[in-house]
A and B are shown apart, each in its own frame.
Chain A
Amino acid sequence: QSALTQPPSASGSPGQSVTISCTGTSSDVGGYNYVSWYQQHPGKAPKLMIYEVSMRPSGVPDRFSGSKSGKTASLTVSGLQAEDEADYYCSSYAGSNIVVFGGGTKLTVL
Chain B
Amino acid sequence: AQTVTQSQPEMSVQEAETVTLSCTYDTSESDYYLFWYKQPPSRQMILVIRQEAYKQQNATENRFSVNFQKAAKSFSLKISDSQLGDAAMYFCAYSWYGGATNKLIFGTGTLLAVQP
The yes or no verdict on A and B being binding partners is no
Chain A residues in the interface with B (C-beta under 8 A): none
